[in-house]
Amino acid sequence: MHLNIAVLEGDGIGPEVVAQSIKCLRSVEETFGHSFTFKKGLIGATAIKKTGTPLPDETLEICKNTDATLFGALGLPEFDDNPKAKVWPEQGLLKLRKELGLFANIRPVKVFPSLVKQSPLPKKSVKDTDLVIFRELSGGIYYGDKAVGNDQSSATDTCTYTEAEISRIAHLAFKSARSRKKKVTLVDKANVLETSRLWRRVVHSISESYPDVTLDCLFIDNAAVQMILNPSQFDVILTDNMFGDILSDQGSVIAGSIGLLPSASVGLEYAMFEPIHGSYPDAKGKNIANPVASILSMAMLLQHFKMDEESDAVVAAVLKSFSKKIVTPDIMGSSKYGTNYVGDFIADNIM
């Protein structure tokens, strides 16, 4: 198979981790006889510095004219600490998700048996964790109207959801549950928010078409507790953009490191694959960043194109790196292996 892949490295550790995924893709090419071509585009702080905008048109064109996008990470503290800034890196990612119509962000949280003891949570509650979060990605308070009062003394964000927006991601979640443990948990704040009440109505009614799947509803405050106390109770979690952002980062605690969790962002036309971690600028250039989240995101890309065998081979190589303890220091403090070495090991073991 031939694939054209857009590569948006972004900021901080983005380029370093994406480089390992590309290395692994080269290995997949060789082993399975595929051909991948890569086209790089600027995004985030790096793009702002070079072009003045966090998502240059050219980058968007590259993403639209390739088969899928591999995304690194973005953000720099100099922008976070400047509330008066007019442009900032995250706007690039938000615009990209919107323009590509990526309405579902799929975040699996799995505790790898050989890493169970890395989790700071009690072994018994994490060891059977195997959940996937379906986070709505192109609506809600992230994209609603925003306003600042004339005298800068007030500000407004708006959260709107339509039945159509809820419905399309709900169907994905229920379909996924069908091939899993047959349980969907809707996380919302229906005792306070009108949008949550719409989510409940729509999701309840969709659930009728999936009689083999159980539907549970949980308030976000309780869900945030349950994710820590008893994550193995979950199968598929379905939630909105903002709650999904919070819950899935929390999920990284279960897995033992935020450097492990991949995600796929999909829409009707396009798909993008991005680790859930940020740009971790303090680690940039130190060869300590964990490449696994990026590599597993790349494995989700392969799966997206029905290259199941290839995807499984990548995951197997990652598992081998765990069992051989070829891991970065976030996983094992005493480890002497760096980003590159771990990337090489995984690439070499794709077979």
Q: Would you tell me which residues interact with its own copies (CB under 8 A)? A: 75, 79-81, 83-84, 88-90, 94, 120-122, 125, 141-142, 144, 146-149, 152-164, 189-195, 197-198, 200-201, 204, 217, 219-222, 224-225, 228-229, 242, 245-250, 252-253, 258, 278
Residue with tokens 């990652």: 318
Residues that bind ligand IPM (CB under 6 A): 75, 90, 93-94, 191-192, 221, 245, 276
The nearest distance, CB 111 to its own copies, in angstroms, is 15
With respect to its own copies, which residue has the nearer C-beta, 29 or 90?
90
User: Residue 105: enclosing H or E segment and its boundaries?
Assistant: strand 104-110
Is residue 282 part of the annotated active site? The answer reads: no
Is residue 189 part of the annotated active site? The answer reads: yes
Among its own copies, ligand IPM, none, what does residue 152 contact (CB within 5–8 Å per kind)? its own copies
CA 290 to chain centre: 15
Q: Which residues contact 327 (CB under 8 A, 6 or more apart)?
A: 290, 321, 335, 337, 342
Helix axes 44-51, 89-99, angle to 10 degrees: 100
Closest alpha carbon to 203 in 134, 251, 267: 134
Residue nearest to ligand IPM (CB): 90
DSSP code string of 8-34: EEESTTHHHHHHHHHHHHHHHHHHHT-
User: Residue 104: enclosing H or E segment and its boundaries?
Assistant: strand 104-110
Is residue 221 part of the annotated active site? The answer reads: yes
Q: How far apart are CA 187 and CA 243, in angstroms?
A: 8
The nearest distance, CB 224 to its own copies, in angstroms, is 5
Encoding tokens for residue 193? 């928010």
CA 110 to chain centre: 13
Catalytic-labelled residue, pool 130, 249, 284, 320? 249
With respect to its own copies, which residue has the nearer C-beta, 149 or 333?
149
Catalytic-labelled residue, pool 80, 216, 221, 308? 221
With respect to ligand IPM, which residue has the nearer C-beta, 221 or 348?
221
Is residue 270 part of the annotated active site? The answer reads: no
The nearest distance, CB 324 to its own copies, in angstroms, is 26
* Max Cα distance, the chain (Å): 62
Is residue 142 part of the annotated active site? The answer reads: yes
Catalytic-labelled residue, pool 11, 23, 188, 189? 189
Among ligand IPM, its own copies, none, what does residue 154 contact (CB within 5–8 Å per kind)? its own copies
Q: What number of other Cβ atoms are within 10 A of residue 188's Cβ?
A: 23
Catalytically annotated residues? 142, 189, 221, 245, 249
